[in-house]
């Protein structure tokens, strides 16, 4: 039995693109949602926050001359498009899903509220939370931390392409070693780049533990929630 009743899963937009630099890898979408379906079937409630980097990144837009606020709004809309893709993938594998947006855009998505998101999860549906916080200057990691706290998730699961947090970038430094677990305070003192400081502080101050893991390995999500020591746990001491 899982020690987590409700989880917030953060997926990057880039992860949906697979080996491509843009768009979606349909096989990757289905693989992800099959993992999520398996977790929901075990009785765990799941909310997902998705990034939009496979379509548009606000900061890259700024570097090309976009106004920062407009660029961030474009990024928020990109997350809604990705949310629709996730919802379709859920339906393909037979998993109920409800799409929420922090920006009003009915009938594409329902306007986000905590009670409605929790109600969806309690009914056995995956709550897909898009459009970030609806505010510019905030990342989707910050949106994930905020939504995780709001919906009373027991843990923030950050799915990445590496299997945890390392002393250095393992893709650049072959001598880097992995942390099995680390406190928020130690991660701050070591200046580990887990997520942006706003998101990190929200999790730390609201006692929301974070697990960083490799979502691209099928079965890892279920194994973590079953209690296996995979990925890296960040927690308050």
Helix 140-150 with 114-122: angle, nearest 10 deg: 70
Query: Which of 138, 143, 163 lies closest to 48, judged by CA?
Result: 143
Contacts of 227 (CB under 8 A, 6+ apart): 2, 3
By CB neighbour count within 10 A (0-12 exposed, 13-18 middle, 19+ buried), where does 155 fall? buried
Q: What order do you get walking across the sheet with 210-214 strand by strand?
A: 110-111, 97-101, 126-130, 45-50, 6-11, 155-160, 210-214, 232-235, 181-183
Quote the CA–CA distance of 155 and 67 in Å, as a whole number: 35
SS3 100: strand
Question: How many other CB atoms are there within 10 angstroms of residue 88's CB atom?
Answer: 16
> Which two structure tokens, joined as six digits, stand for 8?
């917030």
Domains of the chain: 6-235 (3.40.1160.10)
Quote the CA–CA distance of 65 and 42 in Å, as a whole number: 48
What's the pLDDT score for residue 107?
95
pLDDT (tens, 9 = 90+) of the chain, 237 residues, equals: 578 999 999 999 888 888 777 888 899 999 999 999 999 999 999 999 999 989 986 556 566 677 889 889 999 999 999 999 999 999 999 999 999 999 999 999 999 999 999 999 999 999 999 999 999 999 999 999 999 999 999 999 999 888 999 998 888 888 999 999 999 999 999 999 889 999 999 999 999 999 999 999 999 999 999 999 999 999 998
Query: Which of 208, 209, 206, 215 lies closest to 233, judged by CA?
Result: 209
What's the pLDDT score for residue 18?
82
Sign (positive or negative) of CA dihedral 168, 225, 217, 97: negative
What's the pLDDT score for residue 62?
60
What's the pLDDT score for residue 162?
87
SS3 152: coil
Query: Which of 144, 119, 118 lies closest to 130, judged by CA?
Result: 144
Q: What is the DSSP string of 207-225?
A: T--EEEEETTSTTHHHHHH
pTM over 0.85: yes
What's the pLDDT score for residue 213?
95
Query: Which of 63, 55, 104 lies closest to 79, judged by CA?
Result: 55
Question: How many other CB atoms are there within 10 angstroms of residue 29's CB atom?
Answer: 21
What's the pLDDT score for residue 79?
96
CB 79 within 8 A of CB 52: yes
């Amino acid at each position: 039995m899982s020690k987590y009743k409700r989880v917030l899963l953060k997926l990057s937009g880039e992860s949906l693109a697979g080996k491509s630099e843009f768009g979606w890898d349909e096989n990757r979408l289905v693989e992800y949602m099959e993992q999520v379906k398996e977790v929901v079937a075990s009785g765990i409630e799941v909310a997902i926050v998705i990034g939009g980097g496979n379509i548009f990144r606000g900061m890259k837009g700024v570097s090309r001359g976009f106004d920062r606020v407009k660029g961030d709004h474009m990024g928020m809309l990109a997350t809604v498009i990705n949310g629709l893709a996730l919802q379709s993938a859920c339906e393909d594998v037979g998993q109920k899903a409800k799409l929420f947006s922090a920006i009003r855009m009915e009938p594409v998505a329902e306007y986000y509220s905590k009670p409605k998101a929790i109600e969806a999860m309690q009914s056995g549906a995956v709550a897909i939370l898009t459009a970030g916080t609806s505010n510019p200057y905030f990342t989707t990691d910050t949106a994930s931390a905020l939504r995780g706290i709001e919906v009373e998730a027991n843990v923030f699961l950050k799915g990445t392409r590496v299997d945890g947090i390392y002393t250095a970038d393992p893709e650049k430094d072959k001598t880097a070693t992995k942390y099995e677990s680390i406190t928020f305070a130690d991660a701050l003192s070591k200046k580990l780049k887990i997520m942006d400081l706003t998101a990190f502080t929200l999790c730390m101050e609201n006692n929301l533990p974070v697990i960083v893991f490799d979502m691209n390995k099928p079965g890892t999500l279920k194994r973590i929630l079953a209690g296996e020591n995979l990925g890296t746990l960040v927690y308050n001491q």
